[in-house]
Every structure is written in C-alpha cells, then in structure tokens.
Structure 1
Amino acid sequence: MKNVIRIGTRDSELALWQANTVQNKLEALGHNTTLIPVKATGDLVLDKPLYELGITGIFTKTLDVALLKGDIDIAVHSMKDVPTVLPKGVVQAAVLERAETHDVLVHKGTDFLEREGILATGSLRRKAQWLAKYPKHKVVDLRGNVNSRLIKLIENDWNGAIFAQAGLERIKLLPKDAVQLDWMIPAPAQGAMLVAGLKDNEQVIQAASELNDDHSAITTQIEREFLKTLEGGCTAPIGALAEIKNQKVYFKGCLHALDGSAFVETIKERPLTKIEGFGKSCAYEILESGGKQLMDEIKNELNNSVH
C-alpha cells in the first residue's frame, strides 16, 4: 500500500511507545506511516477522579473524533481505556500480543502493609480490591500519566501507589523492588494494545489486521464482554482475566463494593472451541450471586458523590 497510514496517539511517553511499536510493525510489513500525537481530555483534567468526569472513553474520545473527521487513519489505545462499545463507524482492527497483565505496588518500603498506611490510585477497581485486603489503609486519588504519577508518589507522604506492570515495563520505569500484586484481578484487557480504524477504510483495516494476535484478541474479547454485561466502563470496581492454556480458557472475574467491604467473584474454565458468550455467562453468574444489588449500590454511591 503506497498511501501513508496516519497513526493517531495520545502524547504521553507510554502512549507514544505503543504507537511507535505499531508503527515499527507496520513499517516492517512494508507500509508507510506517520505518527500524529493528540492530547486527550483525560490527560488535561487531572484534578477530578475519572468517574466524576462522567465520560466513558475519556482517553479515547479525542482520537475517535480525529478518526471520524479523517485526520488520522488508525488510533492506538491501551485497550483497558477503550469503552466496550466503539463509536459508530469505528472498528477494532487488531489486538497486539498482550504483555504482562498484573498490577504492581511501587512503594517506599513494604512495612506499611502490616500497619496503617496511605496508598495512591485513581482506579476504583484497585482501590476496592486493596481495601478488601487492607481495610485499615487510607486510599488517596492519583491521576496523570505514568511519569507524573511516579513523581507525585515521590513528592507526597504516601507509602505506595499501584500501577499496571506492563506500562512501567514498556517505558523502562519498573522499580526493581516493585511488588507484583498477583492476588489482584486486573482491569479487563489490561496489558493489551488495540488498533482501531474506520470500518469503511478497508485498505487500512486490512493492513492493521496483520498485527492481530489471536489469543490476545480472544481473551480480551471475553473480558470486555464480561465488563459490558456488568455495565462497567470506568464506573465500577470490576476485574477480569482470561488466559488460554492447553486449549482451554481459564477465567476469573470480580465485582467489589467501592470500599472493598463486599465482593462477588467467579472462576470458570471452558474449552477454547466453546467460548461463544463465555464472558456474558460469567457476568450473569456474578449478577445472580448478589452482583446486581452491589451494582445498584455502587451506582447510587457514585451518583451521590458527583452531585
């Protein structure tokens, strides 16, 4: 393809790393490309928690608009930031091979885990799962890109903060003493990168689809189906992880109360050949096991905190 593929990306270091990765892979396949960085609303408004901004896809909306206006040909996203319903006319072209899915604790000494302490995170999911395990801790809101969040941790009297391991590894900022939180269920599609494009732009979709990793596409689709069925988005503490081993898909998903005091979780497995509706059925199980009531309580709490 002789046309230059314009790759839209947020302008943070991590987003640019992701876009450069896509660019290098496309160039290696013989395509001509150029990067077009844009600033997302989620990067500009840092004084409010995400759920208070009341927009799903706050980090992806700017790129969606650029796509629909024809300013870019494809957009590269951290998949966990992407709403489960894409804008009309926009399609998922590829999911790249997934990186590490776990969260990590970046800390100033782990002795606070045995006593009271202050933990920083902007994620309702991380906060809820942390408080479920460490109810004596105080959790403070932490926003910004990876670099600015690390700086804020240094500058404040917090004991630690939670990050996605993949993000820190990608830009070589993972501290040697960071603790992998293998007990914490990650965000749906954490560690995965998504390439989106316009449905009608068949040449570009075809080019981008060459980057698709089948296993990563399957596991993230199950997790996002689970999230969508629970009506998650950025507004509920929902964790989900699907893994493929020996021709089977192993899934674990959870929904927590905002303060971590209650939760419902499910652990399931299915043959790889029978995964149609797997995420949805896992979500229904959560809803029927007390999750519906929990979800209603979460929505009420969030509505009351915003108004």
Structure 2
Amino acid sequence: MNKTIRIGTRDSELALWQAHTVAKKLNDLGYPTEIVAVKSTGDIILDKPLYELGITGIFTKTLDIAMIKGEVDIAVHSMKDVPTALPTGIVQAAVLERANTVDILVHKGNLDFLNGNGIIATGSLRRKAQWLHKYPTHEVVDLRGNVNTRMQKLHDNNWNGAVFAAAGLERINLKPDTYIDLDWMTPAPAQGAMVVVAMENDTFCREAVAKLNHTETEICTHIERQFLRELEGGCTAPIGALSTVTENTITFKGVLFSLDGTEKHEIEKVVSLDDYRDLGQKAAREVLDNGGSALMAVIKKTLQK
C-alpha cells in the first residue's frame, strides 16, 4: 500500500513551513502527501494570556481531534507546544533534527534600555520570569499571536523589544538585523525541535514517518520533556530545560522560576549517554525536593485565581 499521507498543520506561516518540510522529506522517500491546514483555538483567541486558556494542548487540540476523526493521518508541531502526555491513541512518530535552541531579543536598534527601564513583550511565563530575574526594573507585557503577528505588534507599540525563538524566525526568514542572542536564557523544553505524531494503530504512517527520526534530538527532547512532566509544569510554569550530546556524554540544565522571577531553582547534570532514560525525572525530583515543590504549589494557586 502507498496511500497519500494527509499532513495536518496549523495555518500560520511557520506551521505551514514545518508541514511542507515534512512533506518534502516524505516525498523524497516516495510517499505522496497532502497538506491539510486548520486554525487552532490558540491562534483564534489572542486577547488572553495563554495560561488563562487552560493552556495544555491549546495549539494541538484541534489537530488531535482531526486525527482521531480520521480527517488527517499525521500532524506536525513545534515540539515545545505539545503536551507531555499525548491523547490516548496518538503517539510520537518522529522527532526531526533540532534547529537553533536559543531565544533572541528583537529590538528597535537601541539597547540603552538594558541599563535602565524598559518594556519587553512575550507571551511566555518562562521568558517573562527569566527576563525579570535579570532585569527586575523592567516591565514585561503580554504578546500573543503567530510570529508574523507578534513582529507586527512589536513594530506598532512603544515596547523596547520582544523575545522570540530564533528557530521560528530563521525558518521563515523573518529574523531581522536588530536582535541579540539571549544565551543566558534557558529555552523551553524541546525548543527548536519539530515532532510528527500519528495514530497508534496506523502502522503504515508510523513506519513511513519513523524514517525521518533524528535519534540525538529524540534523546535530548525526551530528557527535557520528562523534566517538564515530572515538575508538572505543562506550559503554565516558568520551566526551562536543555540537553546537549557530546560524544558519549549528555549535559543537562533545568530551571524553575517563580512567576515574578525572584526565585530560581537550577540544576545541571553530566551523565553517560547510556543513562539518559530517567535523567529528566531524577533532575526534576531533585528540584522538587529542594524547594521546587513548594514553589510549584504557589504557582498553581496563583494561576488558578
């Protein structure tokens, strides 16, 4: 059998770029594809912070439903947007080779505000907390929408800058000259990686997509998402994580911040590549045992108000 694989995707420029990238890779392997674009709730409701929308799966739920209903066969996501627990019947089929993991600050050509007062825009609790930790006198305002929309809002407002994932802007050639790398900011778990999900009972699509899997990226994102899941953060807590592989060694860094950035819990581990399977879980438990558990309780209570 060589059926046409229907690829579900959000309809933003970046999401479509990701879907077309997967389509080309499958086409090159001899699999015909069709792209099916849908608009997610997260793209429609732009006037509320993400944590007020119940967050978990806000960008993936629509595609999950389309897959379960048989309207699409696979879905392509920015992996950092995908809940750590997939819906019953849906499985991770492949993780593509990771792109740039760094967050960047897109500014308006003048960085003097970094030494005084400034207004920075981001819709991410993780970015907000880390920014306020480093620049406690600054104001951080909410910024929602796809990357094109957010870039336009930065242009239209009196903000000094906005934080973006470098990978997203690079993929659609939207990265301006006026930016700086925020190499001090720990990225979101799985930032820069693309994941393809499929129905668990769809052997044909799973076998086809598995050929796109990049093992090193799969290992690193597994650790980071395990760290996130164990902390029970979803996207509703300021949690960052990054794993890197050097020969037979894995270096892991994880952080948990209070919402206002004043409290920080950080952990770093260097282990053998053979010991990766429960690294994220162990690191998270260490954070929880050393004050993280109390902080997570405060964060959850605050966000539920």
Same fold by TM (over 0.5)? yes
Corresponding residue number in structure 1 for 2:150: 149
Corresponding residue number in structure 1 for 2:221: 220
1:12 aligns with 2:12: yes
Amino acid in structure 2 at the alignment position of 1:118: I
Structure 1: distance between partners of 2:107 and 2:177: 11
**How far has the Cα of 1:288 moved from its partner?**
1.0
Structure 2: distance between partners of 1:246 and 1:73: 36
Structure 2: distance between partners of 1:212 and 1:27: 15
Number of positions where the alignment pairs a residue of Structure 1 with one of Structure 2: 304
Relative to structure 2, which stretch is displaced further, 170-179 or 181-190?
170-179
Please give the root-mean-square deviation of Cα atoms over the aligned residues, in Å.
Answer: 0.6
Q: 1:225-240 maps to which residues of 2 (within 5 A)?
A: 225-240=226-241
Corresponding residue number in structure 2 for 1:303: 304
Corresponding residue number in structure 1 for 2:41: 41
Q: Secondary structure at the match of 2:137?
A: coil
Corresponding residue number in structure 1 for 2:172: 171
Corresponding residue number in structure 2 for 1:23: 23
Structure 2: distance between partners of 1:110 and 1:194: 35
**How far has the Cα of 1:2 moved from its partner?**
2.0
Corresponding residue number in structure 2 for 1:75: 75
Superposed CA offset, 1:197-229 (max 9, x none): 000000110000000000000000000000000
Corresponding residue number in structure 1 for 2:112: 111
**How far has the Cα of 1:110 moved from its partner?**
1.1
Q: Secondary structure at the match of 1:37?
A: strand
Amino acid in structure 2 at the alignment position of 1:72: V
Amino acid in structure 2 at the alignment position of 1:68: I
Structure 2 segments unaligned to the other structure (5+ residues): none
Structure 1: distance between partners of 2:200 and 2:291: 39
Q: Secondary structure at the match of 1:143?
A: coil
Corresponding residue number in structure 1 for 2:252: 251
Corresponding residue number in structure 1 for 2:273: 272
Q: Secondary structure at the match of 1:71?
A: coil
Identical amino acids, percent of aligned pairs: 61
Q: 1:108-147 maps to which residues of 2 (within 5 A)?
A: 108=108, 109-147=110-148
Give the conservation status (yes or no) of the 8 Å contact 2:55–2:236.
no
Structure 2: distance between partners of 1:2 and 1:196: 19
Would you identify which runs of 4 or more consecutive aligned residues in structure 1 move more than 4 Å? none
Structure 2: distance between partners of 1:153 and 1:74: 34
**How far has the Cα of 1:177 moved from its partner?**
2.8
TM-score, normalised via structure 2 length: 0.99
Q: 1:64-103 maps to which residues of 2 (within 5 A)?
A: 64-103=64-103
Corresponding residue number in structure 1 for 2:183: 182
Amino acid in structure 2 at the alignment position of 1:178: Y
